[in-house]
Amino acid sequence: MAFWDHISQKASETTGKAVQKAKDLSDVARLNAAISEEENKIRELYYQIGKLYSAMHMQDAEPAFADLVAAVAEANNKIVCCKQQILDIKGVISCPRCGAEVAVGSAFCSACGSPIAGSRTPEQEGMVHCEHCGALIKKGVRFCTQCGNPVTQTAAETLPAAEAKELKICPNCGAELESDAAFCTECGTKM
């Protein structure tokens, strides 16, 4: 019987060691998760500190921070510009009250009902967006002046002749073109 008692004791010791090892691994994993959570809190706090400092000292940042604050301001300006280009491509504006996207020319916001004043800018009157590159082009042209792709019939509505600007002549077909056109609106020739 001593033999079986010895085996039983060894099995109990091995099981105890395995249980302790599993408990230790569980504790280490729990502590690593707690460390990671605290590191994330610190990152968020640093972010908030930097954002607050940048907002408070945008114009009078200390020399060590001046370049960084200027880079943040430049990046924010680029974001605003890109967002405006997206709105222009979509043919919408942002509601001044709620920020919802509203079709250009709408009198009221479809989300909050707020009146939209002056929703169409003068340079967009008589203009359409190219389906290929999104550039604003005059209604009535057959080819985009920026990318040279053909314009569909719905976008190629005719305009009054009074809207003519400085013109140049296409060397291929003789069509009159605006001075800033990169492609002919009639034959698509690159200028």
Q: Reduced to 3 states, what is the DSSP secondary structure of residue 64?
A: helix
**pTM (global) more than 0.75:** no
- In degrees, rounded to 5, the angle at the alpha carbon of residue 73 between the alpha carbons of residues 68 and 79 is 125
Are 53 and 66 a contacting pair, CB within 8 Å?
Answer: no
pLDDT band at 78, cuts 50/70/90? very high
148: number of Cβ within 10 Å: 19
> Any idea how long the chain is?
191
pLDDT, tens only, 110-130: 889 888 876 444 445 677 777
